[in-house]
Amino acid sequence: MNARKSIATARRIVVKAGSSSLTTPQGRIDADRIDALVDVLAARRATGTEIIFVSSGAIAAGLGPLGLTRRPPDLATQQAAASVGQGLLVARYTSSFARYGVGVAQVLLTADDMIRRVHHRNAQRCMAQLLNLGVLPIVNENDAVATDEIRFGDNDRLAALVAHLTRADALILLSDVDALYTGDPRQPGARRIDEVRTSADLGGIQLGGSGRVGTGGMVTKVEAARIAGIPVVLTNAASAAAAIAGEPVGTYFHPDTRHRSTRHLWLAHATTGQGRIVLDPGAVEAIVQRRKSLLPAGVTGVEGDFAAGDPVDLCGTDGRVVARGLVNYDAGEIPDLMGRSTRWLARELGPEYEREIIHRDDLVVLTTDEEARA
Ligand SMILES: Nc1ncnc2c1ncn2[C@@H]1O[C@H](COP(=O)(O)OP(=O)(O)O)[C@@H](O)[C@H]1O
Ligand SMILES: N[C@@H](CCC(=O)OP(=O)(O)O)C(=O)O
């Protein structure tokens, strides 16, 4: 079967557009290009397909109104620009979709919302209800509260996780480049890639820097395609109609069918460990082979200054990272617990110390070096 058919027949699609496709180089909303994209989304929606739109561009759209000529380097000004730009963007989408009688909703998410169980469930419920109500969700990162430590920064991986969250059938990534190339297409000699079947097809490809207003470049798009677990097409906004119709434009990424939950994908691919916990060989075996929770008895050391709830790396005594998880204790509490049984801890310190250092539901095993670096 023609792989692209899965896009043409998808019942729920996440479409992500990058800053460069939505804003002008002067840091303003590009109303014509937004209308053109909305035309495409509304047309597909009219056939009964549910669309979730992940829109970047808040920071870029806030530059002009704030008198800035380029993307600010500091987080506070980026947050301020995003806060200005996000309102303008959504106002524009609201009136553009209104031409088709389509109501829209703004959904702002942080990386934290993807991994914290309660937030994740709430986001999932909200999105499902918006779709039930026939409203088109427009998603962006909640830039005003995202910190440098735990932040998407780009929207490519956010879009992949939103695709999981909404159980979408396909993901379309729209950028300023019409496909993935063997190297930055601004450099001579770069060749276009039609299809990516496995990560082996990416060998030797240069996934260099991003454009002027975007952030992730191709690295985060390839990463998004890898974690989406569904068919992904990467192309430019001008080819959006063709891509969404399943025509052979851009680069088609075949799905990686390894199933993992959204939170686990996020933990594995997009968080950075805020510290390290060193495990004895028995604990490494329990976590990697038997997928158990991490108990204090198996911990031999702790490095870094993390707080309960932070992602931390778990490593063996050889220093190799074997897993990442959301820790239940602050770094300063762990030395007193190390090597102790949970029963001893409950008796000596109180019942609240009977809990795991990391619960198995909050753990992801990093089986390859590549994943450990993600
Ligand atoms: N191998 C590659 N193939 C295609 N584009 C690449 C590659 N390496 C780097 N790029 C650059 O990545 C840019 C797109 O990334 P980015 O600016 O983050 O886009 P967006 O704002 O759409 O998310 C392109 O403009 C292109 O110059
Ligand atoms: N949340 C940010 C996304 C930043 C960004 O540059 O993303 P992208 O253009 O998708 O690489 C914004 O709306 O400006």
Q: Give me the CATH number covering residue 119.
A: 3.40.1160.10
Structure-derived torsion over alpha carbons of residues 109, 260, 193, 198, reported in degrees to the nearest 10: 160
In the structure, which protein residues have their CB atom closer than 6 angstroms to any atom of ligand 2? 18-19, 56-60, 82, 140-141, 143, 154-156, 214-216
Ligand 2 midpoint to CA 175 (Å)? 11
Same domain (yes/no): 68, 210: yes
Contact 1, 40 (CB under 8 A): no
pTM, two decimal places: 0.79
Residue 174 lies in a domain: yes
> What are the two backbone dihedrals, phi and then psi, of residue 349, each rounded to the nearest 5 degrees?
-110, -15
| Nearby residues of 285 by Cβ (< 8 Å), 6 or more positions away | none
* 223 part of a folded domain: yes
Whether 257 and 278 map to the same domain: the answer is no
Q: Are residues 257 and 276 in the same domain?
A: no
List all residues whose CB is within 6 A of at least one atom of ligand 1. Answer: 18-21, 175-177, 180-181, 183-186, 205-208, 210-211, 214-218
Q: Is 316 annotated as a binding residue?
A: no
Residue 271 CA, ligand 2 centroid: distance in Å = 18
Q: Is 204 annotated as a binding residue?
A: no
Last residue of a domain, one of 206, 229, 261: 261
67 is in an annotated binding site: no
Token pair for 152: 């998407």
Last residue of a domain, one of 208, 232, 261: 261
- Give the count of domains, the chain: 2
Does residue 29 form part of some domain?
A: yes
In our burial notation (b when 16+ CB lie closer than 10 A, e otherwise), range 342-357 reads beebeeeeeeebebbb
CA 290, 291, 295, 297 torsion: positive or negative?
Answer: positive
Q: How far is the CA of 355 from the centre of ligand 1 (A)?
A: 45
Query: Can you give the pLDDT of all 374 residues of the chain as single tens digits?
Result: 578 899 999 999 999 999 999 999 999 999 999 999 999 999 999 999 999 999 999 999 999 999 999 999 999 999 999 999 999 999 999 999 999 999 999 999 988 787 777 788 899 999 999 999 999 999 999 999 887 666 777 899 899 989 988 989 999 999 999 999 998 888 889 999 999 998 888 888 888 665 555 555 788 899 899 888 899 999 999 999 999 999 999 999 998 766 566 667 777 766 678 899 999 999 999 999 998 999 999 999 999 998 888 889 999 999 999 999 989 899 999 999 999 888 888 888 887 777 789 988 788 888 654 444 44
Do the annotations mark residue 21 as ligand-binding? no
Range of the structural domain that residue 54 is part of = 5-261
User: Are 106 and 227 part of one and the same domain?
Assistant: yes
Residue indicated by tokens 């063709």: 242
Last residue of one domain, picked from the residues 212, 230, 261: 261
Looking at the fold, whether 276 and 218 belong to one and the same domain comes out as no
Q: Which residues, 6 or more positions from 27, have their beta carbon under 8 angstroms from its beta carbon?
A: 60, 61, 62, 63, 64, 65, 68, 69, 213
The minimum-distance atom of ligand 1 relative to the CA of 186 is 27
Residue 325 maps to which CATH number?
2.30.130.10
**Residue 27 within any structural domain of the chain:** yes
What is the enclosing helix (H) or strand (E) of 278?
strand 275-279
Say if 291 falls within a structural domain.
yes
Q: Cα dihedral sign for 37, 52, 10, 214? A: positive
Examine the domain organization and report whether 105 and 231 are in the same domain.
yes
Mutate to test the pocket of ligand 1, among 89, 141, 184 (most ligand atoms within 8 A of CB): 184
Residues 6+ apart with CB under 8 A from 293: 356, 357, 358, 359, 360, 363
- Please give the DSSP secondary-structure letter assigned to residue 204: T
Atom of ligand 1 nearest to the CA of 214: 21
Whether 266 is covered by a domain: the verdict is no
| Residue pair 12/171 in contact by the 8 Å Cβ criterion | no
- Domain shared by 190 and 135, yes or no: yes
Is the residue at 171 inside a domain? Answer: yes
Q: What ligand is nearest to the CA atom of residue 234?
A: 1
Secondary structure (3-state) at 106: strand
Are 211 and 302 in a shared domain?
no
Q: What is the DSSP letter of 255?
A: P
The burial of 273, by beta-carbon neighbours within 10 Å (0-12 exposed, 13-18 middle, 19 or more buried), is given as: buried
Looking at the fold, whether 283 and 352 belong to one and the same domain comes out as yes
User: 267 lies in a domain?
Assistant: no
Does 310 count as an annotated binding residue? no
Same structural domain, 229 and 285: no
Ligand nearest 173 Cα, by number? 1
Q: How far is CA 35 from the centre of its chain?
A: 26
Residues 27 and 167 in one domain: yes
Residue 327 Cα, ligand 2 centroid: separation in angstroms?
29
Is the same domain home to 203 and 324?
Answer: no
